[in-house]
């Protein structure tokens, strides 16, 4: 006969337990620590992390337990002891406290006594808990062990003598990142955590091992020794290098952004942060940052007052208004700036306005759309199709969601021109040239693979969206998703592409490619690095060079100086109050953390001043609240442009974004440029194609088409589709190549 439940009114999947005399209901199969955390009852721990598998190896969470009036003979680890009906738990009685204090003494046996100089001081879990559970005098007389540090690359610093073998970092790289780069070596007191082969961490999420480390063994190499935690002010901000919009805190001291740490948001980035968002702040302080207004006299640049620069910009816009003016906007531009740019275009009478600067094929008039399935739901999908995307590099934390779905049993199918590396197994894949991606989606094989799926999703990425066959792929993906009852999730091409589309930063006349192919006499370029941000660099630079250009810019780089007539310095997202709309359609706000450099101003202020100079309607507000109060969605249906001509001989160009060269800020972050994933400009061919072209691995080759010629190092891999040449965008060397096919010959 089974025992009667303590509380018969509970749901059948719950039990009643008592923690320190407090009656609680806990799900069957959960652990004591789960119930305690939910009730707000503190239990010390080091190895336990609610996003990682339970290891139960630090033993800091030992508690006293009692069932049916009988006390357990030994303390139990709260993280690994399942709840049961009627269980009594004591976290603060003499038995529990003695066990916890003894564990703390063991943990401190080999830990170095370097708290006053430790770079983790002030935010160290071991330091905090040792204050409550440690002894004032150590009884340990033997020599402490010392472990040699390992170089984990440019992002993570190591002091492994401090390691307490909690294995959080090991479990993170295995379970979340999926790279299995860290592990425990040797046994007993000789146990060490490391990579074994001595190579740097290559996961795009490596900075998260800093967050999960409870001591100072793994720290931020870029931030190290630059400030103490109590000197920093935390400001809520956002990741602006992909469309996910990861929530984060920027830590600043006296207006200088020194580091970024994740801000919990289960619906967006959980508690993780990609390395691109964590370390990009370095780029804000590059030497070519635009800090003063600049005007060009003849061929010479000189500093000017804001009044003079705005007057010159206003004259250029008056002289080149209406259809003679083109306005090109970076897709990471904030909603506030985007709304003003739309008013700007309307006031100047031009329909040539577009944020889709990196997309080649706009013949279907496609714009950014919100995901049909919330990103948090993707981890619950049972079938996922990835189309034209190097997902792991494009949106690292979306890739991590797909990995979670795969861990739960989802089948992942891929249609790509390159067999990109993923941190999960692929159920089926079609590695085909870009022109064949649409056909692969239309074939019946993939549809058969999705039979029986009830929660399917199709993810379309940058390789497809930015290529010359984008319109055909988008249509094929939409038809496939509809036919298979799958949610269509097209990744917006830019951190705020969706917000800008909703605010009407779209062409009523010429789109981005058309206004460059049919040059205007005047342009406004907003937040753009002209030498690297356009889909077709050669066409863009030629059009801009022959026109009068007003550049609202974060950087006064060489390519901006080459085409602009006036440079107006504006603040980047970490320096301004702004909102972005992420791929779920979620509006999120960032507040300024860093001070604006020099005489730079928030972009909305500069636009307001210029709009006032021109006497345009809609610029009468006096503050940000007034601006936001007047923002409304603006429906613009962009006209369909002509399809991109892809005739010619040679290999089809397959371009993906280099993970740490996606925008002007990341390209200037020194640590990211030193990372192993920044491989440099190169062209990768299938072995059969390389043999036919007469080129060998590591040799230099000339890659050319009708647009331009690039001299690139050759890599050979059978992961590339036959007939395709894979390059990464974001490098000056590969920027010379436009759309279409390329010829490859030995240099």
Residue range 243-268: average pLDDT?
Answer: 96
Query: What is the per-residue pLDDT for 286?
Result: 96
Mean pLDDT calculated for residue range 65-69: 90
pLDDT above 70: percentage of residues in the chain: 99
Q: Reduced to 3 DSSP states, what percent helix, strand and coil does the chain have, rounded to the nearest 5?
A: 30, 20, 50
Fold of 651-746: Barwin-like endoglucanases (2.40.40)
CA 699 to chain CA centroid, nearest Å: 33
**Confidence (pLDDT) at 79:** 96
Give the three-state DSSP class for 350: coil
Read off the pLDDT of each residue in 635-650 and give the average, rounded to a whole number: 80
Q: What is the pLDDT of residues 476-508, one digit of tens each?
A: 999 999 999 999 999 999 999 999 999 999 999
3-state secondary structure of 300: strand
Cα 194 from Cα 210, distance rounded (Å): 14
Q: Give 4's pLDDT tier (boundaries 50, 70, 90).
A: low
Q: Are 571 and 602 in contact (CB under 8 A)?
A: yes
Environment class of 513 (CB within 10 Å of its CB; exposed 0-12, middle 13-18, buried 19+):
buried
pLDDT tier, 2 (very low <50, low <70, confident <90, very high otherwise): very low
pLDDT of 747 strictly over 90: no
pLDDT of 213 reads 96
Q: Provide the mean pLDDT of the chain.
A: 94
Backbone angles phi, psi at 534, to 5 degrees: -90, 155
* Per-residue pLDDT tens digits for 531-588: 999 999 989 999 999 999 999 999 999 999 999 999 999 999 999 999 999 999 999 9
Predicted confidence at residue 8, as pLDDT, reads 72
Structural contact between residues 194 and 200, judged by C-beta atoms closer than 8 angstroms? no
Q: Quote the CA–CA distance of 704 and 719 in Å, as a whole number.
A: 22
Does the pLDDT value for residue 63 go beyond 90?
yes
Q: What is the pLDDT of residue 215?
A: 94
CA 700 to CA 705: how far, in whole Å? 17
8 Å CB contact between 178 and 424:
yes
CA distance 514 to 361: 11
Q: What is the pLDDT of residues 310-368, one digit of tens each?
A: 999 999 999 998 999 999 999 999 999 999 999 999 999 999 999 999 999 999 999 99
| Confidence grade of residue 740 (pLDDT, cut at 50, 70, 90) | confident
Q: What is the pLDDT of residues 698-710, one digit of tens each?
A: 999 999 888 888 9
pLDDT in tens, 257-311: 999 999 999 999 999 999 999 999 999 999 999 999 999 998 899 999 999 999 9
**Contact between residue 491 and residue 389 where contact means Cβ atoms under 8 Å apart:** yes
DSSP type of residue 486: -
Q: Which residue has the higher pLDDT, 1 or 675?
A: 675
Residue linked to tokens 């999705």: 450
Tell me what pLDDT residue 644 has: 77
Domain spanning 143-285: which CATH class is it, in words? alpha beta
388 with 415: CB under 8 angstroms? yes
pTM here? 0.94
> Check: CATH 3.10.20.740 for 14-107?
yes
> What are the pLDDT digits (tens) for 596-641?
999 999 999 999 999 999 999 999 998 999 999 989 888 888 878 8
Q: What pLDDT shows up at residue 684?
A: 96
Q: Which CATH fold would you assign to the domain 294-364+497-629? A: Rossmann fold (3.40.50)
Question: At residue 3, does pLDDT exceed 60?
Answer: no
What is the model's pLDDT at position 143? 87
Q: Quickly list H helices, 354-395.
A: 375-378, 391-394
Q: Has domain 375-490 been given CATH number 3.10.129.10? A: no
Question: From CA 111, how far away is CA 163, in angstroms rounded?
Answer: 8
Task: Tokens for 423, please give them.
Answer: 């941190």
Ordered by start, the domain boundaries in the chain are: 14-107, 143-285, 294-364+497-629, 375-490, 651-746
């Amino acid at each position: 006969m089974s025992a009667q439940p303590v509380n018969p009114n509970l749901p059948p999947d719950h039990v009643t337990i008592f923690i320190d005399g407090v009656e609680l209901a806990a799900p069957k199969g959960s652990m004591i620590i789960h119930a305690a955390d939910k009730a707000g009852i503190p239990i010390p721990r080091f190895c336990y992390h609610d996003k990682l598998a339970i290891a139960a190896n630090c033993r800091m969470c030992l508690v006293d337990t009692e069932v049916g009036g009988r006390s357990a003979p030994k303390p139990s680890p709260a993280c690994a002891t399942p709840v049961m009906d009627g269980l009594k738990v004591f976290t603060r009685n003499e038995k529990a406290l003695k066990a916890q204090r003894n564990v703390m003494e063991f943990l401190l046996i080999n830990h170095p006594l370097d708290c006053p100089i430790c770079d983790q001081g002030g935010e160290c879990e071991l330091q905090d808990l040792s204050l409550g559970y440690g002894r004032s005098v150590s009884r340990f007389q033997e020599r402490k062990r010392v472990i040699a540090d390992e170089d984990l690359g440019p992002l993570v610093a190591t002091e492994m003598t401090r390691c307490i073998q909690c294995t959080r970092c090991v479990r993170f790289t295995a379970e979340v990142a999926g790279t299995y780069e860290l592990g425990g070596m040797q046994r007993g007191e000789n146990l060490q955590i490391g990579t074994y082969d001595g190579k740097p961490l290559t996961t795009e999420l490596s900075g998260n091992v800093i967050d999960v480390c409870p001591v100072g063994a793994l720290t931020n190499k870029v931030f190290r020794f630059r400030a103490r935690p109590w000197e920093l002010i935390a400001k809520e901000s956002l990741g602006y290098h992909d469309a996910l919009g990861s929530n984060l805190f920027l830590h600043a001291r006296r207006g200088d952004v020194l580091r970024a740490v994740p801000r919990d948001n289960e619906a967006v980035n959980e508690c993780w942060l990609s390395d691109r968002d964590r370390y990009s702040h370095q780029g804000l302080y590059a030497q070519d940052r635009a800090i003063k207004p600049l005007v060009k006299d003849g061929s010479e640049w000189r500093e000017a007052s804001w009044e003079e620069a705005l007057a010159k910009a206003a004259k250029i816009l008056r002289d080149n208004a209406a259809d003679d003016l083109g306005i090109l906007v970076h897709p990471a531009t904030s909603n506030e700036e985007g709304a003003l740019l739309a008013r700007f275009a309307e006031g100047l009478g031009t329909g040539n306005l577009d944020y889709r600067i990196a997309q080649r094929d706009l013949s279907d008039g496609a714009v950014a759309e919100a995901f049909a399935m919330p990103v948090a739901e993707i981890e619950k999908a049972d079938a996922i199709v990835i189309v034209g995307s190097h997902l792991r590099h494009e949106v690292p934390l979306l890739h991590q969601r797909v990995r979670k779905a795969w861990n739960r049993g989802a089948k992942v199918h891929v249609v790509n021109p390159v067999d990109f590396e993923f941190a999960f197994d692929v159920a089926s894949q079609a590695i085909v040239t870009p022109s064949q991606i649409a056909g692969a989606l239309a074939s019946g094989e993939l549809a058969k693979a999705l039979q029986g799926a009830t929660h399917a999703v199709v993810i379309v990425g940058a390789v497809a969206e930015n290529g010359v066959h984008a319109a055909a792929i988008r249509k094929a993906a939409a038809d496939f998703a509809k036919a298979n009852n799958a949610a269509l999730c097209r990744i917006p091409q830019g951190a705020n592409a969706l917000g800008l589309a909703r605010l009407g930063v779209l062409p009523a006349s010429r789109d981005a490619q058309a206004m460059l192919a049919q040059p205007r006499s005047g342009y406004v370029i907003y937040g753009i690095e002209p030498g690297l941000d356009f889909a077709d660099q050669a066409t863009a630079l030629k059009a801009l060079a022959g026109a009068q250009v007003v550049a609202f810019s974060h950087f006064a780089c060489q390519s901006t100086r080459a085409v602009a007539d006036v440079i107006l310095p504006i603040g980047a997202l970490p320096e301004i109050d702004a909102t972005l709309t992420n791929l779920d359609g979620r509006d999120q706000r960032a507040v300024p953390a860093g001070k604006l450099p020099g005489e730079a101003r928030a972009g909305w202020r500069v636009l307001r001043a210029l709009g006032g100079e021109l006497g345009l309607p809609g610029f009468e507000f006096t503050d940000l609240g007034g601006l936001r109060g007047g923002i409304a969605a603006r429906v613009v249906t962009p006209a369909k442009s002509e399809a991109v001509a892809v005739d010619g001989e040679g290999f089809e160009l397959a371009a993906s974004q280099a993970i740490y060269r996606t925008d002007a800020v990341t390209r200037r972050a020194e640590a990211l440029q030193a990372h192993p994933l920044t491989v440099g400009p190169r062209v990768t061919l299938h072995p059969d194609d390389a043999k036919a072209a007469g080129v060998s691995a590591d040799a230099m080759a000339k890659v050319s088409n009708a647009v331009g010629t690039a001299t690139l190092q050759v890599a050979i891999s059978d992961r590339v589709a036959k007939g395709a040449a894979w390059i990464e965008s974001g490098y000056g060397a590969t920027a010379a190549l436009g759309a279409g096919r390329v010829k490859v010959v030995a240099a």
